[in-house]
Structure 1
Amino acid sequence: MSDTTPDRTHTDTAAQDVETQGGDRAQYGMCAALAGLGIILLVNSAQLAPVASTNDSLGPKVIPTVLGILLLITSVFYAVDIHRGGVGAADEGEDVDLSAKADWKTVGLLVVIFAASAAFMEPLGWVIAGTLLFSGSAYALGNRHVIRGLLVGLAISLATFYAFAIGLGVNLPAGILQGIL
């Protein structure tokens, strides 16, 4: 049971390979995405109408503006680090087999479960749709205890329903359980 794949996580060859190729283009894409998100935040915060209030001296523009500026600064520092040959360290605690193929059946099942719960949210309500979402996701990810999955999904859905309703004052759709919950 020996692995013949060479371990490149503790050598400088991975960094040298990326450096000779002109940097990792995928990482530059992440820099562009961060910069784009920062620009979107800055543009949208500039379009906010000024609010004159004695209770709020800062107004609604401050936080998105600060976050937009911080995202732009982060993307610049990240791009400089990539250009200098910075390579992220490999995750040492993960036991992911990089040579294994993607499990598209599980991904497809999760997409179907998510879409179904979104479609059933209004007619059935959050508690039933959430129960299907949580228990269906657990099933798709390998849980074969259907009854236990449904009970845990129901508990999570009820807990989040009441946490939103009582704790935050946000009413999630009750659907067919209107008047019962």
Structure 2
Amino acid sequence: MPANNPTSVSATVGNRLRLSRGGGLVGLAKSLAMPLVLAAFATYLIVGIVTMRVPPNAAFPGPQFFPGIIAAGLYVFAIVLGIGAVRAIGGTPDAAEPDERAVGVDWRSFAWVVGSFLAFAFLLGILGWIIAAALLFTGIARGFGQRNVLFALFVGVTISSLTYIAFDMGLGLSLPSGILGWAF
């Protein structure tokens, strides 16, 4: 991964990062944006869990169990990030740590990752799990600095195919087959 990509591991390992400099209400609002998004998504999950129709013969863990764990985890992350944001906005960088540096957002990488998720969401029903997940993996790998698209696509097809087989044969759950139109 190239070192000039701030989202790559090579740019961040061993360094303390200061992602924002803003102070006051604007800085606090920016710092609290992600915790608020996480809390909103967790609330959306909770509403879905509460309004879900569960058959009376559903056994434990049931269809509400794992989304509940995810919602709880999102709330925990939102709280931890919120506390960190409030604490960081009032503090100043420690002069005793010379390797702390500010980094910006690589918008091109960000666009690859977010665009890949959006494309996956829209194309899953049409292309099916194997193809859509392979494209998702490839796009995210590209966003994180992978230049060899064919290699990323090969790995993505392999992982999505194994996942499809595991869900279908191992768990008895169907993932969308899309244009392939077949199932095991």
Using structure 2 for the length normalisation, give the TM-score.
Answer: 0.50
2:143 corresponds to which residue?
A: 140
Map of 2:170 onto structure 1? 167
Any stretches of 5+ residues in structure 1 without a counterpart?
1-23, 73-95
The number of residue pairs the alignment matches comes to 149
Residues 47 and 113 (structure 1), Cα distance of their counterparts in 2 relative to 1, 3 Å cut: closer
Residue 27 to residue 141, structure 1, CA distance change in 2 (3 Å):
closer
Matched with 2:116 is 113
Offset at residue 179 of structure 1 (A): 2.2
Higher relative contact order (CA 8 A, sep 6+): 2
CA RMSD for the aligned pairs? 5.3
2:105 alignment partner, SS class: coil
* 1:15 match: none
The runs of 5 or more residues in structure 2 that have no matched partner are 1-27, 76-98
Structure exhibiting the larger radius of gyration computed from Cα positions? 1
**Partners in 1 of 2:123 and 2:42 — Cα distance?**
35
Partner SS, residue 102 of structure 1 = coil
Q: CA offset at residue 136 of structure 1?
A: 1.4
Q: Which residue does the alignment assign to 1:177?
A: 180
Identity %: 34
Q: Please list the CA deviations of residues 23-67 of structure 1 after superposition, one character each: whole Å capped at 9, or x if unmatched.
A: x99999999999999999999999999x988x979x9999999xx
- Give the partner amino acid of 1:126: W
Structure 1: distance between partners of 2:140 and 2:111? 11
* Residues 112 and 142 in structure 2, CA contact (< 8 A), matched pair in contact too: no
Shift in CA distance, 111/29, structure 1 to aligned 2, threshold 3 Å: closer
User: Which TM-score applies when normalising by structure 1?
Assistant: 0.51
